[in-house]
Amino acid sequence: MALLDLANPTRFLALVQRALPWLALATAVLFAAAVHFAFFVAPDDYQQGGTVRIMFIHVPAAWLSMACYAMMALASLGTLVWRHPLADVSAKAAAPIGAAFTFVCLATGSLWGRPMWGTWWIWDARLTSELVLLIMYLGLIALWRSVDDPGRAGRAAAVLTLVGTINLPIIKFSVDWWNTLHQPASVIRLGGPTIHASILTPLIVSALAFTALFVTLHLAAMRNEVLRRRVRAMRLMEAQREMPPAGAQAAAGAG
């Protein structure tokens, strides 16, 4: 199916209707496998002990917090350059999900940092830039809510989203550019992963589960946004129907 075919919201809704049950099933199976791997297969780390299990949720949440924003940036290009009708819908639907994953990343990072670093929080580059990402998500959500016209809100949010992409390389490379308590990249790096397979496999399974959850929730939220815009259009039509024609108004005013 061509991307252009999905520009038709009715066709998109039909596709989502068919795909969602299978995606939800795949997500549930992957999460069951992820929990099994995390608590019954993965060994304790020789230095961090059982707290390494926090990594299986912290790292996928961090990856998705950035991947979701990158996807919103691509959707913003779709809004501003190609004016694809679903691009703005996609970006708007993704923002709360991205915010939630960023919150999970920060909360689990804090819970991991307390026993390992001895502190809940430190204002270093990695943690601060991730917090900035959460604030950007919340700002975008507020922007979409504050402008009544979805088209205008979408274009303004698209510009802001594209400006905010400057934060993504800062998050990624902050551990290399500045001194930080946070460990450097150990999975997505040029020399390959530095993590043992017994820990890496549960991490990959968990990342797949989180990604499946993101895709499922994003498609469902996009469907809701299409319906919300349908409701708005219907309410406008109802308001127009209840308003007397302009000529009748003028005649009533003259009489």
57 binds another protein (CB under 8 A): yes
92 binds another protein (CB under 8 A): no
Whether 84 contacts 76, CB under 8 Å: no
Separation CA 8–CA 142 (nearest Å): 27
241 binds another protein (CB under 8 A): yes
- Kindly report the length of the chain: 255
Segment near another protein (CB under 8 A); pick from 79-87, 139-147, 166-174, 216-224: 216-224
**Token pair recorded at residue 150:** 């979805």
Contacts of 129 (CB under 8 A, 6+ apart): 167, 170, 171, 174
Contacts of 159 (CB under 8 A, 6+ apart): 76, 80
Q: Say if residue 195 is exposed, middle or buried (CB neighbours under 10 Å; 0-12, 13-18, 19+).
A: middle
181 binds another protein (CB under 8 A): no
Segment near another protein (CB under 8 A); pick from 74-82, 135-143, 144-152, 218-226: 218-226
Choice between 57 and 125, CB closer to another protein: 57
Choice between 16 and 80, CB closer to another protein: 16
Binding site for another protein (CB under 8 A): 10, 44, 49-51, 53-54, 57-58, 61, 96-97, 100, 103-104, 107-108, 111-112, 114-115, 213, 217, 220-221, 223-224, 227-228, 230-231, 233-235, 237-238, 241
